[in-house]
Amino acid sequence: MRVDPSTAPPVLAAGALAWREGKKGFEVLLVHRPRYDDWSVPKGKLDKGETFPAAAVREVAEETGYRVRLQRPLPASVYLLPDGRTKIVQYWTATVRAKVAAGAEDPREIDQRKWLSLDEAERRLTRQSDQVLLAALRRYLEAEELDTAAIIIQRHAAALSRAKWRKGEKSRPLNAKGKKQAAALPPLIDAFDPGGVVTSPWKRCRATVEGFARAQGIDVTTKSELTEASHADHPTRTGAVIERVLREARSVVVCTHRPVLPTVLQVIRQVSVHGAALELPRSDPYLAAGEAMVLHATSQGNVVAVERHLPNIG
């Protein structure tokens, strides 16, 4: 049955091309699909309420037995299915966090996984879209921009309006939508495996990221320089906090407020390559309430890719 592509929602999927420095040199992880008798990059459809990054991590684990951390994004694949619907697949490069199973969950779908050299992977991949992913990864590797840390700039989730809260800005809480956003954030943030959380101490910021921190057993560090008040008085101190985060180039979540974002973005723009700088937001509100902006930074602190994600609350 063919559907009308103008009315049918797109099919959404996600995957990742994992890499490692193996005993035999640089390798990438591919899977064999017996149904098609081909080798492919692990991927699969999003579950209901799932974000692209969370789906990519889940699908790689289900198809390979490896839990990965996402790094910089790869080119998306967009094509028409035989029934007329559009399929959109988002991909990332990735490294292994842990081995969680001996192999694929369903051997009827995936019956082999192999770490292969780039040349061998190029010979085995049959789909042109997968060849595009491999070529992009090779470019990042040759440019020494493959191994990146994810620095997540998180705007706090939706909060009660200032007019409805008379007890001061420090204690203004999340509203009902914001609480749903905060509850939905952990799988999205965890896909990038940040090892630290730095936040404004004001309640609405802490409430946005504390759920993720608790789930991962991570201590939360508060920085007064990330509050609206401190930024208004001393924006250079706010900038210094962001400069230090970028210089250290470690995966971390930084949660702050909308009025602080212009200074945050100004600092980021100074260390971003041209393509990444073009992806940075340029107009107010910069990020929506609850939105995460993921910066992919090299060990030298240069931002080479930028992506943005909202928690999926249905």
- From first to last of the 314 residues of the chain, give the pLDDT tens digit: 455 656 689 999 999 999 999 888 999 999 999 999 999 999 999 999 999 999 999 999 999 999 999 999 999 999 999 999 999 999 999 999 999 998 899 999 999 999 999 999 999 999 999 999 999 999 999 999 999 999 999 999 999 998 889 899 999 999 999 999 999 999 999 999 999 999 999 999 999 999 999 999 999 999 999 999 999 999 999 999 999 999 999 999 999 999 999 999 999 999 999 999 999 999 999 999 999 999 999 999 999 999 999 999 97
For the chain, state the CA radius of gyration: 21
Identify which of 20, 107, 116 has the alpha carbon closest to the alpha carbon of residue 62.
107
pTM for the model stands at 0.94
pLDDT at 163: 87
- d(CA 284, CA 205) in angstroms, rounded, equals 19
Domains of the chain by range and CATH? 11-142 (3.90.79.10), 149-309 (3.40.50.1240)
pLDDT of residue 8: 82
Question: How far is the first Cα of the chain from the last one, in angstroms, to the nearest whole number?
Answer: 28
Residues 291, 104: Cα–Cα separation, whole Å: 33
Q: What is the β-pairing status of strands 11-22 and 86-99?
A: parallel
Q: What is the pLDDT of residue 228?
A: 97
Place of tokens 């017996």: 34
Give every CB contact of residue 207 below 8 A, 6+ residues apart in sequence. 156, 157, 173, 174, 178, 179, 182
Residue 24 token pair: 């035999």
pLDDT confidence of residue 1: 46
